[in-house]
Chain A
Amino acid sequence: DTEVTQTPKHLVMGMTNKKSLKCEQHMGHRAMYWYKQKAKKPPELMFVYSYEKLSINESVPSRFSPECPNSSLLNLHLHALQPEDSALYLCASSSQGNQPQHFGDGTRLSIL
């Protein structure tokens, strides 16, 4: 069972589109993360939310905009993406820092 749920599983969008990725967890975790993973590479941290506040932004371009509406939900808003942004986007959660992170199945994003 996947305890972190991501939607959609696949997304194809043009460079002028606006779309959002969604992530949900009901484990009571207070830290949530967005990662980007290219083929045959490790996940790269993008954003960290701790107690619903943005605590880490790894110099991600502003065309990616995270949002944490409540402790269970994490969104990633996408606008004017580039072809090189095509990747697997993974959401994860943990109870707090220095604790195991649970990953969702990811959204496979393709930019045309």
Chain B
Amino acid sequence: GENVEQHPSTLSVQEGDSAVIKCTYSDSASNYFPWYKQELGKRPQLIIDIRSNVGEKKDQRIAVTLNKTAKHFSLHITETQPEDSAVYFCAALYGGGFKTIFGAGTRLFVKA
């Protein structure tokens, strides 16, 4: 069935280092992949997304890559800052683009 696997579940980095979170999806029909950041007690917020006709997308310190053949996509955060500390969820959309399946989440800690 539809599934999104996300790794690692926890990631601790030093301020200024890079962080990489990886996801794998199961259904090749999926063609939209958003990433959400959720701070403690707050709502998920979209930080970047990518569509299946694009291999890479960047927005300042954040980038996402997509390998359609392998059904992998990854989030890259460079020059991490303490305010990047949060839970990050990858997701894939199914069911005509309305059904969002989230990965289990990665808790990112950025140590000052």
Which residues in A have some Cβ–Cβ distance to B below 8 Å?
2, 31, 33, 40-45, 48, 50, 55-56, 90, 96-106
Number of residues from B at the complex interface, CB < 8 A:
23
Q: Is the CB of A42 within 8 A of B103?
A: yes
Q: Is the CB of A97 within 8 A of B98?
A: yes
CA of A42 to CA of B97 in the docked complex: distance in angstroms? 18
Q: Is the CB of B99 within 8 A of A101?
A: no
Which stretch (B11-19, B40-48, B64-72, B75-83) binds chain A? Answer: B40-48
Q: What does the 1/0 interface line of B3-25 toward A look like (CB < 8 Å)? A: 00000000000000000000000
Q: Pick the contact of A101 from B46, B51, B103, B105 — CB < 8 Å?
A: B46
Report the tally of A-B residue pairs with Cβ distances under 8 A: 56
Within 8 A of A (CB), among B57-100: 89, 93, 95-100
Considering only CB atoms, which chain A residue lies closest to B103 in the complex? A42
Q: Pick the contact of A98 from B46, B89, B97, B101 — CB < 8 Å?
A: B97
Whole-angstrom distance from the CB of B86 to the nearest CB of chain A?
Answer: 13
Pairs of residues from A and B, 7 with the lowest C-beta to C-beta distance, nearest first: A97-B97, A98-B97, A42-B102, A98-B32, A103-B43, A97-B98, A48-B98
